[in-house]
Amino acid sequence: MSSQFYSRYIPPSSKVTITVEKQRSSKKRKTIKPIATLPPSQEENPIPERLEQGTVVQAADQEASLPTEQQSVANEQDIFLRSRHQAVLSKYQKAKKESAEKPRTTAAIEDKPIEAQDDQMEIESHGLEPLPQPTEVQDLPKVSMSTALPEWLQSATHVSPASTVPFQSLPINENAAFSLQEKGFEKAFAIQAAVLPMLLPGPQDYSGDICISAATGSGKTLAYTLPMVESLREKPVTKLRGLIVVPTRELVSQVKETFDLCSGGSGLKIGTAMGSKTFKEEQAQLVEKGQKYDPEAYRAEQEKEIDEDEELMDWDFEKRFGPKDGFELLYNHVVEYNSRVDVLICTPGRLVEHIQSTAGFTLEHVQWLVIDEADRLLDESFQQWIDVVLPGLEYLPPLDPIQERFSNTFHLRHRREVRKIILSATMTRDISKLTALKLRRPRLVVLEGQAQEKPEAQDKMETIEATERIELPTTLQEIGVKVPDANDKPLYLIQLLESKPEIGSEKASVKPIEPQRSSESEDTSLDESTSQSHSDRGKVLRNDARTAPQPVAPSATHGTLIFTKTNEHATRLAHLLSLLRPAWGPQIATLTKSSTSSSRQKALSAFRKRKLSILIASDRASRGLDIPDLTHVINYDMPSSLTSYVHRVGRTARAGKEGKAATLIADNEARWFWNEIARSEKVGRGKGKKVVRIDRKLEVEDEEREMYKEALEKLGEETRGKHE
């Protein structure tokens, strides 16, 4: 019997193959005991077709071609195999009989100890045993997704949107209360009313960390600035005690404004680090270099320098003979660094640079860490900022001898507790990401939306709760505008901006606004790539009809933020709009990563002051930006995710005000938009609210089409010119 025969029917790993091969090679074939005396009942057992053909027919073929001695060996082996097969078969049939008698329930199988099941399966594997059949699965008890989450994420504190309280009822300083009142803040918004008592000193004070999930524009910034100010006010020595990390420079400036609002009279110094100044300038603003009288330390320094001098190989020429910074140490004095700020608001990248390169910059006194737009900051590595910042927060400065003695005597533990506040409108429940923050007794606070109609299945609800349910502002109205031909998107956009009743729900009640006069252009002359240049480009296509004073951007466009998917798209769209509607040119600016920081700030400031009507931005502007009274957001390009959509549209309908968001939907985007955004169970909308579908034909006159064609050609030429 050739080895191919075995390999055809018996997997190489099986025991039988090994046994037979072993016996052959050790030439002890005769010692194999043929098990020829099978009980008749087993002999009579019908042999399955596959097994019968496989053994008998093939074996016969092989025998005919073998010499006598080999034949007898082959016969012995054949008998051996057949007897093994018979043994297996009989066990199989016995098992089959047993299982036919017994009802096959999951419970029955589960009840049997695992070892017992294994016993039954103790059959030598040889590749011919019956294939294992899948166990019939009966209805198992449903496991809620939420049980997969840690206790603190499961048992969030839910806050009703109606639970506002007057600021006077909170333990805040009268200066802060006065400033808030002056600003027109009458009541603490719901999320503030819930979080402030946890963070301010008082009976509800909670000393652990807090994660806050609340809709865009719900007032999360004040929920952490106010308690930080209250806890750090009037500290006699300036030390870096509060650290706030946000993803963009614009947000750094914005958070600073909120601090300025509530820190009046507190004596706190609030600093920023975002890379808008040179690194050296920023360093000088954060840390002050001084000296202090300390003969002991001075001597230690001197000895250290001598030791270093002896290590000739280690000489650093620049350090020893390079330019000094004009700082001369007095005798018996050593360098001392002092923080110039109590609170630092920064981007993660710049923070890492200061930790690594600014002498005297230390996190050893930090008591508060705030991570705003946390999901974004945890998603992207930003120079591995968490790995750099957390060790700084865990650092325990050595005890001085007196402290040491007391701590030994009284077994005092040297401890450091930094209070962490983690926020987002799309707060991650991804525990692997949250774990990286090493939260201490964390608590999750969730601002609820308005009462929702319950989804049909309860488990659906549980799944959504367990993952990331996102609430949109209840004052937001959403529309989806069908764009059958993606090439016509700019024309649809113009119709939307002009609020043709066919497209938007706006009626002609919108008031036209006057174009900006040159004398008023102070704030709108932003930079070469923004409003001024857009208006110049508009001149190219002008003719009498098109330049006649026309109702420029109507009030619907006063305060319209348009999102595109890239910086380049934003710039091109701004040019295209000013070519198609020249009079809009001075009203349009772009906000992208490629424009300079100062021009971005100028554009934003002009837009906030209503000196600009249209701001075209990349996703950079989607997070956290607060433009009070912004009435419209348009997704010209589809957002890349649900999260991105939520943040984009959340630039309007803030602080309880009304706002509208429109999305232009090309044919190939429609399915995704309606399934993942408009009908998503993960999104909470105001009661009875849904995305309104607008499906109207574009009505464009020939002249407009012609103008559009010319504008596209012009843009094409410009782009080609740029690339040549």
d(CA 301, CA 298) in angstroms, rounded, equals 5
Please report whether residue 218 would count as binding ligand ATP according to CB under 6 A: yes
Position 708 contacts ligand ATP (CB under 6 A): no
DSSP lists the bridge partners of residue 458 as: none
Q: Is 635 helix (H, G, I), strand (E, B) or coil?
A: strand
The answer to whether 444 and 211 have CB atoms below 8 angstroms apart is yes
- CA distances to 9, 351, 438 from 387, rounded to whole Å, are 57, 12, 11
| Nearer CB in complex with ligand ATP: 226/232 | 226
Which of 251/366 has CB closer to ligand ATP? 251
Closest approach, Cβ 108 to ligand ATP, in A, equals 54
What is the spatial distance between Cα 700 and Cα 487, in angstroms, rounded to a whole number? 13
CB nearer to ligand ATP: pick between 604 and 707: 604
Minimum CB distance to ligand ATP smaller for 419 or for 651: 651
Could you give the CA distance from residue 471 to residue 427 in angstroms, rounded to a whole number? 11
Cα–Cα distance measured from residue 211 to residue 194, given in angstroms and rounded to the nearest whole number:
12
Of 209-217, 301-309, 574-582, 587-595, the window that binds ligand ATP (rule: CB under 6 A) is: 209-217
Return contacts of 412-418, CB within 8 angstroms, 24+ apart.
417/207, 417/367, 418/366, 418/367, 418/368, 418/369, 418/393
Segment holding 704, helix H or strand E: helix 702-723
Task: Please state the closest distance from residue 655 (CB atom) to ligand ATP, in A.
Answer: 3
**Residues between 6 and 35 with contacts to ligand ATP, criterion CB under 6 A:** none
464, 682 in Cβ contact below 8 A?
A: yes
DSSP string, 252-289: HHHHHHHHHHH-TTS---EEEESSSS-HHHHHHHHEEE
* Smallest distance, ligand ATP to C-beta of residue 261, A: 8
Q: Is 554 helix (H, G, I), strand (E, B) or coil?
A: strand
Does 655 sit near ligand ATP (CB under 6 A)? Answer: yes
Provide, rounded to whole angstroms, the least separation between the CB of residue 532 and ligand ATP.
Answer: 29
Query: What distance in Å separates the CA atoms of residue 85 and residue 428, rounded to the nearest whole number?
Result: 58
The strand pairing partners of 659, in sequence order, are 476
Residue 553 Cβ vs ligand ATP, minimum distance, rounded to whole Å = 23
Q: Based on CB atoms, which residue is closest to ligand ATP, 480 or 650?
A: 650
Which of these segments, 219-227, 234-242, 342-350, 436-444, binds ligand ATP (CB under 6 A)? 219-227
Q: Which of 217, 271, 538, 585 binds ligand ATP (CB under 6 A)?
A: 217
Say how far residue 336 (Cα) sits from the centre of its chain.
40
Comparison of 16 and 211: residue with beta carbon closer to ligand ATP: 211
Residue 195 beta carbon to ligand ATP: minimum distance, rounded to whole angstroms? 11
Among 54, 197, 219, 271, the residue binding ligand ATP under the rule CB under 6 A is: 219
In the region spanning residues 54 to 113, those forming contacts with ligand ATP, defined by CB under 6 A, are: none
Among 74, 153, 170, 222, binds ligand ATP (CB under 6 A): 222
* Residue 244, strand partner residues: 345, 370
**Based on CB atoms, which residue is closest to ligand ATP, 195 or 363?**
195
Q: Residue 654 interacts with ligand ATP (CB under 6 A)?
A: yes
How many whole angstroms from its chain centre is CA 329? 49
Examine residue 428 and tell whether it contacts ligand ATP (CB under 6 A): no
CA–CA separation, 674 and 446 (whole Å): 26
With contacts defined by CB under 6 A, name the span among 60-68, 480-488, 650-658, 665-673 that binds ligand ATP.
650-658
| Nearest residue (CB) to ligand ATP, 182 versus 288 | 182
Residue 477 CB, shortest distance to ligand ATP, in Å, is: 17
Report the alpha-carbon distance of residue 363 to residue 245 in Å, rounded: 13
Q: Which residues contact 258 (CB under 8 A, 6 or more apart)?
A: 221, 222, 225
- Rounded to a whole number of angstroms, the minimum distance from the CB of residue 625 to ligand ATP is 7
DSSP classification of residue 148:
G
Of the pair 78, 626, the CB lying nearest ligand ATP is at 626
CB 190 within 8 A of CB 474: no
Extended beta strands in 103-198, E state:
157-159, 165-166, 187-188
Among 17, 216, 529, 643, binds ligand ATP (CB under 6 A): 216
Beta strands in 354-432 (DSSP E): 368-371, 419-424
* Nearer of residues 347 and 533 to ligand ATP, judged by Cβ: 347
> Which DSSP category does 205 fall into?
-
What angle (nearest 5°) sits at the alpha carbon of residue 20, between those of residues 18 and 22? 65
Give the footprint of ligand ATP on residues 503-542 (CB under 6 A): none
User: Which CB sits closer to ligand ATP, 9 or 185?
Assistant: 185
In this structure, what DSSP letter does residue 55 have? I
Smallest distance, ligand ATP to C-beta of residue 605, A? 15
Which residues does residue 634 pair with via DSSP β-bridges, in sequence order? 562, 662
* Residue 376 beta carbon to ligand ATP: minimum distance, rounded to whole angstroms: 11
Cβ-count burial 6-16 (b if 16+ within 10 Å, e if not): beebbeeebeb
Task: Output 224 or 636, the one with its CB closest to ligand ATP.
Answer: 224
Secondary structure (3-state) at 60: helix
Report, in Å, the least distance between residue 209 CB and ligand ATP. 18
Under DSSP, the state recorded for 471 is E
Q: Which residue, 242 or 650, has its beta carbon nearer to ligand ATP?
A: 650
668: tokens are 């190939």
Taking the least distance from each CB to ligand ATP, the nearer of 184 and 236 is 184
CB of 192 to ligand ATP, least distance (A): 6
Q: Which is nearer to ligand ATP, 346 or 666 (CB)?
A: 346
Give the Cα separation of 339 and 348 in Å (integer): 19
Span 589-648, contacts to ligand ATP by CB under 6 A: 624, 626, 628
Closer residue to ligand ATP (CB): 195 or 573: 195
77, 221, 564, 644: which one binds ligand ATP (CB under 6 A): 221
Nearer CB in complex with ligand ATP: 423/677: 423
3-state secondary structure of 189: coil
What is the torsion angle, in degrees rounded to the nearest 10, for the CA atoms of residue 456, residue 458, residue 461 and residue 467? -140
Number of residues located near ligand ATP, criterion CB under 6 A: 20
Structure tokens at 479: 């529309």
Q: How far is the CB of 445 from ligand ATP (least distance, A)?
A: 13
Query: 320: helix, coil or strand?
Result: helix
Q: Amino acid letter at 125?
A: S
Stretch that binds ligand ATP, among 220-228, 284-292, 491-499, 694-702 (CB under 6 A): 220-228
Q: How far is the CB of 132 from ligand ATP (least distance, A)?
A: 54
- Interface characters, 157-196, with ligand ATP (x: CB under 6 A): ----------------------------x-xxx--x----
* Other beta carbons within 10 Å of 369: 20
Question: Quick one: 220 or 241, whose CB is closer to ligand ATP?
Answer: 220
Q: How far is the CB of 178 from ligand ATP (least distance, A)?
A: 14
* Residue in 82, 85, 126, 220 binding ligand ATP, rule: CB under 6 A: 220
DSSP characters over 76-141: HHHHHHHHHHHHHHHHHHHHHHHHHHS---HHHHHHS-HHHHHHHT-----S-SPPPPPPPPPPPP
Shortest Cβ 173–ligand ATP spacing (Å): 16
Question: Which residues between 272 and 291 bind ligand ATP (CB under 6 A)?
Answer: none
Q: Which of 198, 273, 425, 580 binds ligand ATP (CB under 6 A)?
A: 425
Residue keyed to tokens 């930079």: 527
Interacting stretch for ligand ATP, rule CB under 6 A, among 28-36, 215-223, 285-293, 692-700? 215-223
Interface residues with ligand ATP (CB under 6 A)?
A: 185, 187-189, 192, 214, 216-222, 425, 624, 626, 628, 650, 654-655
